[in-house]
Amino acid sequence: MARRQQTLRQIEDRKKPSSILGHEPLYKRAKRELTRRIASGEWRPNQMIPSEMELAAELEISQGTVRKALDEMTNDNLLVRLQGRGTFVSSFDDEKMLFQFFRIVPDEGSKTFPDSTQIALTHGLSDKDEVCKFGLKNPEEMWRLERGRSLVEAPIMLERLSLRVSRFPGLDEIAELPNNVYGLYAERFGVTVVRAAEQLKAVSAGKTEARHLNCKLGDPLLRVSRLAYDLDDQVVEWRVSLCLTNTVHYAASIR
């Protein structure tokens, strides 16, 4: 039996006092409710969502208000509109991830997605740094994924990813983790990464980095610490990448 949908006004009236409701445009409230459906896994990557007319009737708002909410979600890369086909939940394909989240590019040639080789996947209780990065009240079990990355078969990066076991149960049951883990997060676990914050620092290669990156002990590396956030603005992943920048550089576009 299909779950009975509630109107947007019913949802909002239950969440907030009426005195607060008037301070936020209706399309923003519509956007928040529709975004929640993606965050909860009700709408999955590549799934076509209901039409503007259907959503307007369901939420008891105008079609124009729905369109404005969907426009913002499209601009935020949460939705994709395909002419003549409909509106779909975005997927994290390699090309999208490359241009939205991967900032290490070759000094010469076009931007390309790096290959990855899994080194280890382990789990254990979160250390103090992970507790701080994820904003945990108490330590909890964490996955720790280590992998090497290369461009044109040349090693350029050593990565360590920390993930909460509670959000990614059974991660160790996947025979081979894909190169594009953000796509895996969305499609298998219903966790959509929408933004990331990075910190850069110059460091020196230690023994482990020198072995995996085929460089000398003490060679300069770029350390990139990234926190990736989901639709609820919760930390999904803490990733530390150590980059050998002999043939690549970090690129960012500023407006």
CA-closest candidate to residue 221, choices 153, 158, 154: 158
Q: Which helix (H) or strand (E) holds 199?
A: strand 193-204
Adjacent-strand bridge partners of 208: none
Residue 218: predicted pLDDT:
96
Please, what is the average pLDDT of the chain? 86
Residue 19: predicted pLDDT:
34
Residue 225: predicted pLDDT:
97
Q: Write down all domains in the chain, each with its CATH number in brackets.
A: 8-89 (1.10.10.10), 94-250 (3.40.1410.10)
Q: Helices (H), strands (E): how many in the chain? A: 9, 10
For residue 15, name the pLDDT band (cuts at 50, 70, 90). very low
Both tokens assigned to 42: 């009700």
Residue 98: predicted pLDDT:
55
Residue 11: predicted pLDDT:
52
What is the full DSSP assignment across 218-251?
T-EEEEEEEEEEETTS-EEEEEEEEE--SSEEE-
Q: Which amino acid is located at 71 in the chain?
A: D
Q: Please give the Cα distance from 247 to 127 (Å, whole number).
A: 34
162 pLDDT more than 70:
yes
Q: What percent of the chain has pLDDT over 90?
A: 55
Residues 6+ apart with CB under 8 A from 21: 12, 13, 29
Residue 50: predicted pLDDT:
94
Both tokens assigned to 202: 């110059």
Write down the residue that tokens 């002990």 correspond to: 217
Lowest mean pLDDT among 85-94, 123-132, 167-176, 182-191: 85-94
For residue 103, name the pLDDT band (cuts at 50, 70, 90). confident
For residue 49, name the pLDDT band (cuts at 50, 70, 90). very high
Q: How much is the CA Rg of the chain, to the nearest whole Å? A: 21
* DSSP3 helix / strand / coil % (the chain, rounded to 5): 30, 30, 35
Residue 1: predicted pLDDT:
40
Adjacent-strand bridge partners of 223: 201, 242
Q: Look up the pTM and report it.
A: 0.75
Average pLDDT of 69-81? 89
Both tokens assigned to 63: 């079609």
Residues 6+ apart with CB under 8 A from 44: 89, 186, 187, 190
Both tokens assigned to 203: 């460091």
Residue 14: predicted pLDDT:
46
Residues 6+ apart with CB under 8 A from 10: none
Average pLDDT of 22-46? 85
* φ/ψ bin of 224: left (φ > 0), alpha (ψ from -120 to 50), beta (otherwise): beta
Lowest mean pLDDT among 30-39, 58-67, 139-148, 241-250: 30-39
Q: Please give the Cα distance from 40 to 45 (Å, whole number).
A: 12
Lowest mean pLDDT among 119-123, 125-129, 166-170, 247-251: 247-251
